[in-house]
Structure 1
Amino acid sequence: MTDRDRTGRYASPPCMAGEVAPEYFDPLAVDPDQARDVARWRRAERSRLRAARQALTVQERAAIDLALAGHLRDLLETRFGALRGRGLSAYWPIKGEPDLRPLMSALHEAGVTIALPLVETRAAPLVFRRWSPQTKMVRGDWNIPVPPPEAEALTPQITLAPLVGWDCAGYRLGYGGGYFDRTLAALSPRPFTIGTGVQAARLKTIFPQPHDIRLDAIVTEAGPQVLPGPGQS
């Protein structure tokens, strides 16, 4: 890992969604005033949670990364059994996000097809390009390294969603651009989606709105989180 990697200047484009589309607003909300109140609350919570995450020490980050990666691999193997041949979309860490790149490399060596999400068209669903430790990245939108255009496009069976915050109902507080929700809504079949983040970012609720899509699982350094079944809250 280079010093530039450690500073978090580079990432897959979805992680920059809040900067890309800070005006993102759900047009399907039942009550526009309520939706705007939630949007303001979410902006404040994003700032608070990101500051807390950035304040973690190097040692704390390393411990979180190691524990989370172990729990995540256990969950994948328990849920899916043999992983060889399956497609998994991961992400490039920024802004103190858990760094799962060693796990990405290990899964690649185990025969998992790894992809990274990126933005080809703004305010549209993400696309996924195949990645390996040998991939020569190119500069995409916002000067961010991404797999090159000739990299294989694919639709993953499993996708990891970085969490700024999360609640026990299985909803994700992301960066505010709406890219992940747009993507999940557009994919059929929808991939099994796992939120990954720090335990301290748990919220009582994110006040889910009509565009928010529940995750299938959440994993933190404390382990997989128990989510309510369909129809439960």
Structure 2
Amino acid sequence: MSDVKAIARAEAFARRAEAHAAGQGQAAEILADYLSAHRGRVLSGYMPMRTEIDPLPAMAAHQGPVGVPVIVAKAAPLRFREWSPGCRLVEGAFKAMIPEEGAWVEPEVLIVPLLAWDRRGYRLGYGGGFYDRTLEGLRARGPVVAVGFAFSAQEVEAVPVDAFDQRLDAVVTEKGVTVFA
């Protein structure tokens, strides 16, 4: 399965890069509108890297606490440090920017980056399993909403999945929202 996922990742990186070059349109506005139903709940976003679609405007518009993921160890669930626009950032693991300081928060709603997604609600990530481990742990404690954020060009027929892959509840793109039952 790792070879299948590696090939799928390479293809997905290329599609995402092409979509990124074209611009994200109103994707962040659509995401902010979708997230407005979750005002007051703890939200996790992410600091965009490379050609990832940018959730920062939607994160800044959220009415409630916002955190960003922090990789604390290989093969461990993510932790989330409180973030606000303009906070001081430092480079974390894998060159991801994280708040230099701030409270640890436990998200109830997560904006999840991805390389590819399908209509079953599965996503292809970078291969570290961080979000799958994190979602599994959070869902064991209570209801959590996982929202993929991507370009529409990142949709594929079927993402290769393993038994530990966690499904998304929805995906938001520049073309709208897809909710999975």
Instruction: Note the aligned Cα RMSD (angstroms).
Output: 1.7
Q: Deviations over 1:66-107 (max 9, x none)?
A: 421122122223x43xx1x32100011112111121222222
Distance of 1:216 and 1:142 partners within structure 2: 26
**Cα distance, 1:142 vs structure 2:** 4.3
Q: Deviations over 1:159-208 (max 9, x none)?
A: 01112000100001111110000011111224211001111111111132
Distance of 1:207 and 1:52 partners within structure 2: 17
Distance of 1:124 and 1:211 partners within structure 2: 14
Partner of 2:31: 72
* Structure 1 or 2: more strand by fraction: 2
Q: Pick one of 65, 68, 81 that aligns with 1:116.
A: 68
> Does 1:180 pair with 2:131?
yes
Partner of 1:48: 11
**Cα distance, 1:44 vs structure 2:** 1.0
Distance of 1:199 and 1:57 partners within structure 2: 11
Partner of 1:18: none
The percentage of aligned residue pairs carrying the same residue is 35
Name the TM-score, length of structure 2 as normaliser: 0.90
Q: Which runs of 5+ in 1 are unaligned?
A: 1-37
Contact 1:50 1:95 in 2 (8 A): no
Name the TM-score, length of structure 1 as normaliser: 0.71
Count of residue correspondences:
179
User: Residue 181 and residue 142 in structure 1: after superposition, are their counterparts in 2 closer, same or farther (change >3 A)?
Assistant: closer
Partner of 1:101: 56
Query: SS in structure 2 opposite 1:75?
Result: helix
Distance of 1:165 and 1:177 partners within structure 2: 15
> Does 1:211 pair with 2:157?
no
Query: SS in structure 2 opposite 1:116?
Result: strand
Partner of 1:165: 116
Contact 2:49 2:96 in 1 (8 A): no
**Cα distance, 1:157 vs structure 2:** 1.1
**Cα distance, 1:214 vs structure 2:** 0.8
User: Residue 140 and residue 177 in structure 1: after superposition, are their counterparts in 2 closer, same or farther (change >3 A)?
Assistant: same
Contact 1:135 1:147 in 2 (8 A): yes
User: Residue 217 and residue 56 in structure 1: after superposition, are their counterparts in 2 closer, same or farther (change >3 A)?
Assistant: closer
Distance of 1:174 and 1:203 partners within structure 2: 13
Deviates more, 1:38-47 or 1:175-184: 38-47
Distance of 1:97 and 1:143 partners within structure 2: 14
Distance of 2:167 and 2:96 partners within structure 1: 28
Partner of 2:42: 87
Asked which structure has the greater CA Rg, the reply is 1
Distance of 1:117 and 1:98 partners within structure 2: 16
Q: Pick one of 111, 135, 138 that aligns with 2:90.
A: 138
User: Residue 56 and residue 76 in structure 1: after superposition, are their counterparts in 2 closer, same or farther (change >3 A)?
Assistant: closer
